[in-house]
Amino acid sequence: MQESTESLRVSITLDVRGFDCPMPVLKTKLALRALATGEVLRVLATDPMAVVDLRAYCAKTGHELLGWSGDAELEFLIRKGGVPG
């Protein structure tokens, strides 16, 4: 992960561990709607497809995937872009 939670101010942590596709992306979308542009969402997930799904979601919607780490338990940091949820 390029930036860690220690160097960023995380606004919300979303725990979607135990949820499979498509729930991690759907819950991430809802959580991002609650944030202002530029705020950071931390997502905790266990679904290995979350890496592919969240990368695609961020690329499609204009949010910035700052990075991710982990194997069995994944951590993502997403900065809200200037687009609606």
Q: Two tokens at 12?
A: 């919300």
Q: Which of 8, 12, 21, 52 is catalytic?
A: 21
The domain locations on the chain are: 1-12+23-40+49-71
What is the pLDDT averaged over residues 20-43?
96
The residue to which tokens 């872009």 are assigned = 81
Say which amino acid occupies 15.
D
Residue 61 CA, chain-centre distance (Å), reads: 12
**Known catalytic membership, residue 21:** yes
pLDDT class of 16 with cuts at 50, 70, 90 = very high
**Considering the entire predicted model, what is its pTM?**
0.88
CA-based nearest residue to 83, from 29, 47, 45: 29
Kindly report the average pLDDT of the chain as a whole number.
91
**The Cα angle at residue 84 between residues 80 and 85, in degrees rounded to 5:** 65
What is the pLDDT averaged over residues 50-68?
96
pLDDT class of 24 with cuts at 50, 70, 90 = very high
CA-based nearest residue to 28, from 72, 70, 7, 68: 68
